[in-house]
Structure 1
Amino acid sequence: MSAPRLQPRIDPEQARRWKASGAWEDLTLADRAQALAQQAPTHVTHREAGVSLTAEQAWARSGRLVAALAAQGFVAGDVIAFQTPNWLEAVLINLAAARLGLVVCPIVPIYREREVELILADCGAKGIFVPERFRGFDHLAMVQGLRARLPALRHVWSVRGETPTPGVTDLRALLESDAPLPALPRTDPDAVKLILYTSGTTGRPKAVLHSHNSLARSMRRAAQHWGLRPGDTTLMPSPITHVTGYTYGLELPFHDRVRAVLMDKWDAAAAADLIEAEQVVFTLCATPFLQELLDLAEREQRPLPSLRTFPCGGAAVPPELIHRVARVFANCRSFRVYGSSEAPVITLGYVLPGQERLAAETDGEVIDYEVKLVDPNGDEVGPGQEGEICARGPGLFLGYANPEDTAQVFDAQGYFHTGDVGYRTPEGAIVFTGRIKDLINRGGEKISAKEVEDLLHQHPGVLQAAVVAMPHPRLGETVCAYLVAAPGADVSIEAVSRTLAAAGVARQKMPEKLVVVDAFPTTASGKVKKDLLRADVRERLAQAAPAARP
């Protein structure tokens, strides 16, 4: 089954201008990988757990996977999913999909039955690659349990499987396939190549669509601005199932001849060891990663001299954290960046000497996008005034899989309304200040408050639920639930968590604090005033904090 319903939002005239200007290079990942394999066959594109993958090996092995998938009936336009950690196998899966013209759907490894079933059903995935087990969880058993409810899902493959499972082939067997490599037409670089699900304010994830052209432009323009050069080594601990990990971990090495070192589980000490051993010059991570790496480097007096560039975003970045980088790391410059799955890296950060204050106190300068900030009436606001951040440019996504979702976020001028609020400084920098969307940003993972509220209402003792973001010292934000409970009901955090666990929800969505109240503060129209709940939980946390020592 192909996916004709995926209708990307492309303005043919605008696309023509971007191609004429070179903003869209009109090359696919397969074009890039083939050229690299021919021109620099021994170039190491990726390393993981001490194992290297060269350009020649990536091309040859992905070719065997292409042949195996084609023999099983996969054709251009089919959707193929993977829920793998940051493993080398994902490089081959992604490259094979690009060569065959498939649409890839990465699924975050922390997602469980509820999220995985929803995503696979919505995108109509014809096959999925999953680890047999990862971090103690049996992904293969989970997906096998979902197959009866997913008629489009014809194939389930294991990755690094050890136990034979009926109806499941391991990726290693596909890579040993002797099926002939079919003659394939070249994939249109404007075709949808990536469908990436992101939490929506309604609790229904939205399917973000990107093409070869849109992703490549965003990624390569950022790499150029950040000073990445052929031969540089990067570290990617962010999940390759996020837009950041996907682009800079899986794809950039085939575009700009860098080498990506993949980490499948974040650990600051292990990251420091890799940075020193592999002479890593660049990494791009969320705030908790930078915080923990700084703490370790300072504690152990390890200045990590090879590290040169560290953009940081995805969660709130305190200015002092950026200033600490210059004091702790020998040669590294860090700066804040801002973007999303839909609009990767709208701002690219201040990277030059003398721009340290802007790097720490703003989310960066706008590069390659046109940005306007508008009030609730859609009128543009001036510098220093808060407004919704709206963007358009060659790195922007092609809309959502659901046309209704797309229509809601694009205006007549082609600007994407992000749902985020910020202001522009006199220097032209953007400062992100909050969200219109009711989302919780847990260390870069976006959690829909509405989704968690709907799940909480499944608990028999919960009459009403309101979920808000709660400050967290490491993750930036996490989940706090306010409940109105039935008399005598057990709505302890343990009981509520059992209800959510039974629904097959990712652990990250479970409340870390629960407050039972008699009633919610509401507006005249009856809408819950979540600003008051957020203020209340901040006050509760402040009162519970141990008194500072004199």
Structure 2
Amino acid sequence: MKSTMQSPPLLISSLLRHGTTIHGDSEVVTWTAEGPRRLSYREVGQHAAQLAHALRSLGITGDQRVGTFMWNNAEHLTAYLAVPSMGAVLHALNIRLYPEQLVYVARHGGSEVVIVDNTLAAPFARLVEHLPAVRHVIVSGPVDDATREALASPPHVEAVHDYATLLADQPATFDWPEHLDENDASSMCYTSGTTGNPKGVAYSHRGNVLHSMGVAGTLGISSKDRLLIVVPLFHANAWGFPYCSMITGATLVMPDRFLQAEPLAAMIEAERVTGGAGVPTIWNDLLHHLDEHGADVSSCRMLMVGGSAAPPALIRAFADRYNIDIVHGWGMTEMSPVGSLALPPQGVEPGSEEYWRYKSSQGRLLYGVEGRLVGPDGSIVPSDGESVGELEVRGPWITDCYYANGTETATDLAEATAKFDDGWLRTGDVGRLSPNGYLTLTDRAKDVIKSGGEWISSVDLENAVMAHPDVLEASVVGVPDERWGERPLASVVLKPGTSTTVADLRAFLEGKVAHWQVPERWAVVEEVPKTSVGKFDKKQLRKRFAEGDLEVVTVD
């Protein structure tokens, strides 16, 4: 028996229509050097229609790729809505990648039109000559003549356009196509390769809609919320928040290029922000700024953290000092990206040790995400909260393969094949699953320290070190050891003016982790190197150690 229900496709255009009409009075607030710039969702809808018409005039008539090279701002949100809704595919380029990686990703994705923020036009001009598929460049904001000439100089670039001028005479309505297949690609992001090139993930309309509904519902986002989205729109779909806002009507506060703690604190105070999303380093910097300089953050109830594990000390500090709930999330670019959120179950007393254990976990798997643990021999490990294995996942917003255009190397193809196991995505994360669906990760498979035949979790060590009040950041990697095979090396950033020594830090760890896990090797650094998305760059730390660029102190 079939149901009697209608089955319209789940498309990004449905989010656009809903958000810009039903929630037309909500707004996107873009931070500038002069203060906030405001645009209602109704106006965003009009601009999206104008952008779609403009892109049609430039030859985007099917599912061609349209790239963005932009900060988080109203224009980027407009592209997030317009490009997929017209049937094209949005490719948000990660502005923080190394030039060689950027060129590879842009060429592999094949964008024909790229929208660029004016403050990023000069670095993009140095790339565009290597991107032969790019026919048009659209610049949002004024640029000098030299930069414009540089953008237009490659022979394959037909024209460089001013964003506002290009949109000015276009109609403010658009007949968004309804015949699109909900399983067609709506957008693309690339994940870092381990030994090969970055891998492309093509998100579907259906997956994006379901993912955003899952995230919005689990976090309890509503039209009353004002969300500060620090996670870049070029990073893993901005965790779904651009589309969550269309579903719920939550106002978006976009920081543009003002990503330091001082302006973020000012945004929270001035815009009465209720929630936000960013990586641990962002919120760690904000915490220290608030401790030193203060700000009125009483409006803020929740800050989601993802990208890497949040130290338990950070979670507790925000709760104890500012009554802000840090919600730990876990996911991957391949997962659209959110797979779990750390909200303790009913009946757990807030502030209890059990409560903090749940808060420090990676959280409960969202509806739609199935998880299982696999042992080194390929056998399924019980989800009993104690057994450890590599996490594999599957679901409607999890990729089933990587995007391929025929230019991949043998290494690329081998890596891509190795990531999938009979319909499951191998995450590369090692940890435990409880019977009630809570995930606790102990490490990345490639970052586990194998010492004397035993595993040491670099994440657990990092959390323990960062619990010391004089430590700003800490990252732990395994380094070669003649006796044990590998031993942990802890690189730490200390607060200015502190007299704490590495011997003090080593003593601090005694009793908090097993004695044999306490690092003998320490390096005090000015900053822990970070990847393009704000994670600790452990590859760089290993390289610096191997090349003798770290001043390592050994304490027995």
CA drift of 1:221 comes to 1.1
The corresponding residue for 1:252 is 244
Which residue of 46, 51, 60 maps to 1:65?
Answer: 51
Specify the alignment match of 2:419 in structure 1. Answer: 409
Distance between the aligned counterparts of 1:427 and 1:246, measured in 2? Answer: 24
Q: Equivalent residue for 1:309?
A: 302
Is 1:80 matched up with 2:82?
Answer: no
CA distance in structure 2 between the partners assigned to 1:294 and 1:438 by the alignment? 27
Q: Quick one: structure 1 residues 300 and 377, their matched pair in 2 at CA, closer, same or farther if it must change by over 3 Å?
A: same
Structure with the bigger percentage of strand:
2
Corresponding residue of 1:138: 122
Is 2:374 the counterpart of 1:389? Answer: no
Deviation at 1:437, TM superposition (A): 4.5
Q: Matched residues, percent identical?
A: 22
Counterpart pick for 1:297 among 290, 296, 303: 290
CA gap 1:67/1:270 in 2 versus in 1, 3 angstroms: same
CA distance in 1: counterparts of 2:232 and 2:425, whole angstroms: 25
Amino acid of the structure 1 residue aligned with 2:234: T
Is 1:340 the counterpart of 2:321 in the alignment?
no
Residue of 426, 440, 461 corresponding to 1:431: 440
Question: Deviation at 1:542?
Answer: 5.0
Residues 470/213 of structure 1: CA separation in 2 closer, same or farther (3 Å cut): farther
Q: SS of the residue aligned with 1:115? A: helix
Say if 2:247 is the partner of 1:261.
no
Aligned pair 1:213/2:206, yes or no? yes
The answer to whether the 8 A contact 2:19-2:248 is kept is: no
1:420 aligned to which of 429, 439, 459:
429
Out of 373-382 and 124-133, give the one that drifted further: 124-133
Alignment match of 1:160 (pick from 117, 135, 141): 141
Aligned residue number for residue 191 of structure 2: 198
Post-superposition CA distance 1:90-118 (Å, at most 9, x none): 11222220221111111111224312210
Which of 26, 42, 53 is matched with 1:43 structurally? Answer: 26
Query: Which deviations, in whole Å up to 9, do the C-alpha atoms of 1:229-274 show, x marking residues without a partner?
Result: 12210001121101252621x3222121101101123111211111
Partner in structure 2 of residue 357 of structure 1: 356
Q: CA deviation at 1:203?
A: 3.3
The partner residue of 1:282 within 269, 275, 295 is 275
Mapped pair 1:171 → 2:163: yes
Deviation at 1:351, TM superposition (A): 4.6
Deviations 1:60-104 (A, max 9, x none): 111111111111211221011111011211112222202211111
Q: 1:48 to 1:133 in 2, by over 3 A?
A: closer
Partner of 1:367: 366
Separation in 2, partners of 1:145, 1:472: 40
Q: What's the RMSD between the two structures over aligned residues?
A: 3.5
Cα deviation digits, residues 45-72 of structure 1 (max 9, x gap): 4444311121221111111111111112
Kindly state the Cα deviation for residue 434 of structure 1 after the two structures are TM-superposed. Answer: 1.7
Q: Is the CA contact 2:370–2:393 (under 8 Å) kept in the aligned structure 1?
A: yes
Shift of 1:124: 1.6
Partner residue, 1:327 = 320
What residue number does 1:464 align with?
Answer: none
Selected match of 1:235 from 210, 228, 246 = 228
C-alpha distance in 1 between matches for 2:378 and 2:539: 36
SS state of the match for residue 284, structure 1? strand
Match of 1:127 in 2: 113
SS at match of 1:231: coil
* Contact 2:342–2:360 (Cα < 8 Å) also in 1: no
Give SS of 2:213's match: helix
Superposed displacement of residue 362, structure 1: 1.5
Which residues in structure 2 correspond to 1:81-96 (within 5 Å)?
81-96=67-82
Do the aligned residues in 1 keep the contact of 2:15 with 2:243 (CA within 8 Å)? no
Is this contact kept in 2: 1:318–1:360, CA < 8 A?
A: no
> Is the CA contact (8 Å cut-off) linking 1:422 and 1:431 kept in structure 2?
yes
Is the contact made by 1:45 and 1:54 (CA closer than 8 Å) also made in structure 2?
yes
Q: Are the counterparts in 2 of residues 201 and 437 from structure 1 also a CA contact under 8 Å?
A: no
Q: CA 1:238/1:402 → structure 2, altered by over 3 Å: closer, same or farther?
A: same
Unaligned runs of 5+ in 1: 1-15, 443-448, 450-467, 475-507, 519-535
Higher RCO, 1 vs 2 (CA within 8 Å, ≥6 residues apart)? 1
- Alpha carbons of 1:470 and 1:194: their partners in 2 closer, same or farther (altered >3 Å)? farther
| More displaced stretch, 307-316 vs 183-192 | 183-192
**Which of the residues 514, 517, 520 maps onto 2:544?**
514
Q: Secondary structure at the match of 2:333?
A: coil
Paired residues of 1:131 and 1:139 also in contact (CA < 8 A): no
Contact kept in structure 2, 1:106 and 1:195, CA below 8 Å: yes
Q: Compute the TM-score of the two structures, normalised by the length of structure 1.
A: 0.72
Amino acid of the structure 2 residue aligned with 1:334: I
The 3-state SS of whatever aligns with 1:126 is strand
Find the aligned partners of 1:238 and 1:93 in 2 and give their Cα distance. 17
Indicate if the aligned counterparts of 2:186 and 2:205 stay in contact, CA closer than 8 A.
Answer: yes
- The 10-residue stretch of structure 1 (177-186 or 380-389) with the greater mean CA deviation from structure 2: 177-186
Structure 2-normalised TM-score? 0.72
